[in-house]
Amino acid sequence: MEKSNVVVLEGNFKADGLKIGAVCARFNDFFVNRLLEGAKDTFVRHGGKLEDITVAYVPGSYEIPFAVKKLLQTGKFDAVIALGVVIQGATPHAGYINSEVAKSLCQLGLESGTPVTYGMITAEDIEQAIERSGTKAGNKGVDAMNAAIEMANLSKVIK
Ligand code: RBF
């Protein structure tokens, strides 16, 4: 994109020195662990240190926003990522969990002024969950960490 003559504010992908909080649901941990591994690998490959990632575990995706809020309240993190997997076929109220969690996470980011990124898989079935946690449809934990790094650095630039 042509960038001359305009003032551009954007976040780079340097993770060195950034502090990241991660909230992981234990439900479907087989997949959530893959998301967390992807997120950690991404952070390190962008220059971050593993000891700068703090992971909080919650029982299921429904509890993720609560722990995100608690991490944000510490004021210690440049961004918080949310990692969970809700599988439609096995979860009658999947749509309800997904929409509530997405709405709450967005709200928490806006209210706190610290970026919160969405590393949730909402899958129709186990096969889709496999595809989105590190096989043919990528890894949503990687995407969430990339977004967290970019948004944390954008926040610093706008300040
Ligand atoms: N949590 C998830 O993170 N993913 C799920 O797919 C999921 N499915 C659930 C299905 C049922 C029938 C129930 C009762 C809970 C499920 N949960 C799931 C857990 C939920 O997010 C929460 O931890 C519990 O309902 C306790 O508040």
37-82 pLDDT tens trace: 999 999 999 999 999 999 999 999 999 999 999 999 999 999 999 9
Q: Is 59 in the pocket of ligand 1 (CB under 6 A)?
A: yes
Looking at 14, 49, 93, 103, which residue is catalytic? 93
Closest CA to 35 of 145, 139, 148, 131: 139
CA distance 34 to 66: 22
Q: Rounded CA gap, 40 and 32, in Å?
A: 12
pLDDT band at 159, cuts 50/70/90?
confident
Q: Is the pLDDT of residue 86 over 70?
A: yes
Which ligand 1 atom is the nearest neighbour of the CA of 62? Answer: 21
Q: Look at residue 89 in the predicted model and tell me its pLDDT.
A: 79
* Reported pTM: 0.95
Active site residue 46: no
- 87 CB less than 6 Å from ligand 1? yes
Pick from 149, 120, 118: nearest CA to 133: 120
Average pLDDT, the chain: 94
Ligand 1 near 108 CB (within 6 A) = no
For ligand 1, the distance from its centroid to the CA atom of residue 14, given in whole angstroms, is: 35
Q: Fill in the amino acid letter for 128.
A: Q
